[in-house]
Structure 1
Amino acid sequence: MRHIAIIGSGPAGYYSAEAAQKKFGEDVAVDIIDRLPVPFGLIRTGVAPDHQSIKAVSRRYEKTNLGDNVRFVGNVTVGDQVSVAELQDLYDAVVLATGAPNDRVLDIPGSDLPGVIGSAAFVGWYNGHPDFKDLAPPLDATSVAIIGNGNVALDVARILAKTEDEFAGSDIVGHALDALKDSKVEKITFLGRRGPHQIAMTPKELGELGQLERAMPHVAAEDFPDIGDDAMLEPGMRKSVTHLRDFLTLDSEGTDKPVKISFDFFAMPVEIQGDGKVEKMIVEKTALDKDLRSQGTGERYELDCQMVVSCIGYRTPPIEGVPYEHGRGRFANSEGRILPGLYCVGWARRGPSGTIGTNKPDGFAIVDAIAEDIGAGGRKEGRAGLDRLFAERGVEAVTFRDWKKIEEAEIARAREGSPREKFTDIADMIAARD
């Protein structure tokens, strides 16, 4: 019997568990360990609450967990209740699937002012992550600056701009919905160092921006290259740029929508200023060199804003004793191998890139590597040893059966039209299983 521990219950973790089931059949026992009492990682707390079709992939992960040889071990913090080294002693293979939940640091003067928020915190707040339930973003702001030109930046803008009715069918948590109903936001500005041809926004998500009830996207015609250059783009990017060009047409037709969403391309934030809180941002205009890298031009302007959301990427948190690449914000690895018996997968392996689906081939590849390295396994205790260790330490893990009780309670307390009302407090989650 092969014994595998996977740390992290998001897409990378579950695709790796599914791959192990298919590779080894009944000759494997997989424990998926997570610090929260609830599974599915960014599917639950990262994917936008109004994108329920994407969240539905969790049903696939649930099927993996219903097999006898895969077990969810929730409410266990690796590094606290059990160390990576101890897991390596107990399991033939330990896979770090911890994702990249920490924001990259916004390293400009004034980034520590109240009102500057990282996207991990803001997204976690409206998605009900226990770590961010008390965030209280300053929604009395009339102008918000969003740093970044990717899909997370789009999610943040869309959530800020939607009406209450547009959240019908979503699982946005109640405290966020109540706060957003009283929002004073009138202007949202995206800041990107490069231009329309370099955005990381995908077509579907960008197209949604032009369909909002009370918000209107605005772009400047002078930021675009010649339309003939669009033909050189790959198809997905070409569709995204087409949406941006469509926004030009919408803008020329005029609108009485009260919220304006502007794209400031070729714009690099250099300083955030304010007296005890965010009041404005100093932005430097950029230009692209021959390698399409942005360079400051020296020309600067002021952008009034009372809230800043930094959507500039994520980092995997280091774990004591595990080699780490600080420059890339991920575990040091060679094709997923870190040390003998220790592996990483997903964003913890490659950094925050790719879609949810990218984690599937990644998970299957890491299981192939494990199969090559450990052979038939069978020389370690696996879950029996973990259970013994937890019994000695008084650790009571949350099971998948417990999670289903928590889920039932969340469904029961949902507002009309919503699939669930998430618990945002760990103690409440634990209580709901009893």
Structure 2
Amino acid sequence: MSTRPLSVAVIGAGPAGIYASDILSKSGLDVNIDLFERLPAPYGLVRYGVAPDHPRIKQIIVALYKILQRGDIRLIGNVEVGRDITVDELREHYDALIFSTGADTDAPLRIPGVDAPECHGGADFVSWYDGHPDHPRTWDLSAKEVAVIGVGNVGLDIARVLAKHAEDLMVTEVPENVAAELRRSPVTDVHVFGRRGPAQVKFTPLELRELGKQPDVDVLVDEEDFEYDEGSQAALAASNQQRQVVKALEGYAMAEPEDLTASRRIHIHLFSAPTEVLTDEDGHVRGLRVERTRLTGDGSVEGTGEFRDFDVQAVYRAIGYAGSPIEGLPFDAERHVLPNAGGRVLGEGGEPLTGIYATGWIRRGPVGLIGSTKSDAQETISNLVADAQAGLLRATTADENQVGHDAVMLLLNKRGVPFTTWDGWELLDAYERGLGEAYGEVTVSSGESRPRECVKVVSREAMTAVSRGTEIPADLIGAPDPSRVPERVAHRL
């Protein structure tokens, strides 16, 4: 029997994949780990799902960087499973596969009018302002009044970026094309809608408090939106975080009218369930209709039959993320996850698929933060280790020489796949920081000058060229590769 090290491929280099790789590397198994990422850069939603003006959240990257910098986990970027290499081919070359592909699309909102061209998925907008290489470079920001549906942190991020003056983002890594579009925005009012009350919103206190610290942006909350039933009181009693959220909302509601003088406003509307996107005769957004809701006793709500129309010219839905199917694997289309038990992926008959695992949001759905991600990874890896110790894990190839990293590198090179590595990411990271230094200092709305931390490169071609040390295209913005653009946003090319 072979005594070679176990070869494991982890697919998805966001926090879930990196934490799983780290835990596996410290498990006591003799193991080689390849970490695949479909983009030329690691970190997943920390790089492409967090607003650029959230530097404290982005400090997570520091911890992830330290894990990958060790060198015992080999990063293989710019490789898309299902496009550049199949699941079956990975199973031939690795003893186990761990999928940590996350959730990259928007949960659906099923109300009339939501298919209007000015109705946008929050995930797509976040990908745009974060410079995701597979998304279009432009965005229609012609609306003066905008609706954001959803009272979680993604909804807050979207509202904040829409309302914020562009110069106050210029000290961040915001891409140049995004900054240019934001400068032209005529927005005056952003309306955020949630169907339940203050005890049920999913904001976190820090993000909610920061919302009111933007220069020349007021936050308005209606005093009538503070109602509590028995379920709400129980929720507040059980959570200091939720009490802090309510306190912040109450602070906004108690602001004196004479102090609300900003040129841009963010309105938070609670007990407001969107029921219809209103369109004009040409099918363009002209408003949003919401129904007033009321608490039913247990913290849930019901409609009152009282409706109100808001004049808006664009609608963003931020009601949650959803995972995408992976070709060659089963998929739970209702929960948008890989069906699994403790991280072991299950086949159609409910039996574990030997050597196939899941962790993170593709395992449990888009809920929970870093703490939940680490717990997921710990359980998944514990089950993988148990399976390895039971002798269950084995690549499907009959040729032991075809197992592991070197064989896969030969395959990718033969196919001409321009994959990137950790050394390549460090080149790209240094290049982006150099762009920030070259940009120099910028003046924010307060009048003070600050240096730019970096400027994000958004063209996949340019990212790959920098990472591989080849000639860098003159146009760093470029256009996305049409074959890689998600179908849901392809019409915007």
For this structure pair, what is the TM-score category when the shorter chain's length is used for normalisation?
over 0.9
Match of 2:47 in 1: 44
Letter in 2 for 1:364: Q
Match of 1:326 in 2: 333
Moved more, 380-389 or 398-407: 380-389
CA–CA distance in structure 2, aligned partners of residues 174 and 428 of structure 1? 14
Q: What does the per-residue CA deviation read over 1:195-235, in whole Å, with 9 as the maximum and x for residues that have no partner?
A: 11110000000001122211111111121126994862510
Match of 1:387 in 2: 409
Letter in 2 for 1:328: R
Letter in 1 for 2:19: Y
Q: Percent identity?
A: 37
Q: What does the per-residue CA deviation read over 1:241-280, in whole Å, with 9 as the maximum and x for residues that have no partner?
A: 0000011222455321111211111111121122332111
Match of 1:7 in 2: 11
CA–CA distance in structure 2, aligned partners of residues 53 and 40 of structure 1? 15
Q: Does the alignment pair 1:407 with 2:429? A: yes
Match of 2:480 in 1: none
Letter in 2 for 1:247: Y
- Secondary structure at the aligned position of 1:24 is classed as coil
Letter in 2 for 1:405: L
Per the normalisation by structure 1, the TM-score is 0.94
- Secondary structure at the aligned position of 1:279 is classed as strand
After the TM superposition, which residues 18-417 of structure 1 pair with which residues of structure 2 at under 5 Å, given as runs? 18-24=22-28, 27-137=30-140, 139-225=141-227, 229=233, 232-252=237-257, 254-274=259-279, 275-338=282-345, 339-375=353-389, 379-380=394-395, 381-414=403-436, 415-416=439-440, 417=451
Kindly tell me: are residues 310 and 409 of structure 1, through their superposed partners in 2, closer, same or farther at Cα, counting changes over 3 Å? same
CA–CA distance in structure 1, aligned partners of residues 267 and 418 of structure 2? 50
Q: What does the per-residue CA deviation read over 1:109-137, in whole Å, with 9 as the maximum and x for residues that have no partner?
A: 21111111111111111111112242413
Per the normalisation by structure 2, the TM-score is 0.83
Q: CA deviation at 1:320?
A: 2.2
Q: CA deviation at 1:34?
A: 1.0
CA–CA distance in structure 2, aligned partners of residues 36 and 115 of structure 1? 28
Letter in 1 for 2:456: K
Report if aligned partners of 1:31, 1:71 keep a CA contact under 8 Å in 2: yes
Letter in 1 for 2:259: G
Q: What does the per-residue CA deviation read over 1:163-196, in whole Å, with 9 as the maximum and x for residues that have no partner?
A: 2343253212121122112211111111111011
Letter in 1 for 2:452: S
Q: CA deviation at 1:157?
A: 1.0
Letter in 1 for 2:465: A
Report if aligned partners of 2:223, 2:254 keep a CA contact under 8 Å in 1: no
CA–CA distance in structure 1, aligned partners of residues 109 and 251 of structure 2? 32
Letter in 2 for 1:271: E
CA–CA distance in structure 1, aligned partners of residues 394 and 149 of structure 2? 50
Q: What does the per-residue CA deviation read over 1:84-133, in whole Å, with 9 as the maximum and x for residues that have no partner?
A: 12212221210110000111122222111111111111111111111224
Q: CA deviation at 1:9?
A: 0.5
Kindly tell me: are residues 3 and 231 of structure 1, through their superposed partners in 2, closer, same or farther at Cα, counting changes over 3 Å? closer
Moved more, 268-277 or 238-247: 268-277
Q: What does the per-residue CA deviation read over 1:361-417, in whole Å, with 9 as the maximum and x for residues that have no partner?
A: 222221111100112878541213312322442333111111111222211112332
- Secondary structure at the aligned position of 1:12 is classed as helix
Moved more, 167-176 or 373-382: 373-382
- Secondary structure at the aligned position of 1:276 is classed as coil
Aligned-residue Cα RMSD (Å) equals 2.0
Q: Does the alignment pair 1:431 with 2:465? A: yes
Letter in 2 for 1:87: L
Q: CA deviation at 1:161?
A: 1.7
Q: CA deviation at 1:321?
A: 2.7
Stretches of structure 1 that go unaligned for 5 or more consecutive residues are none
Report if aligned partners of 1:2, 1:376 keep a CA contact under 8 Å in 2: no
Letter in 2 for 1:44: R
CA–CA distance in structure 2, aligned partners of residues 412 and 347 of structure 1? 34
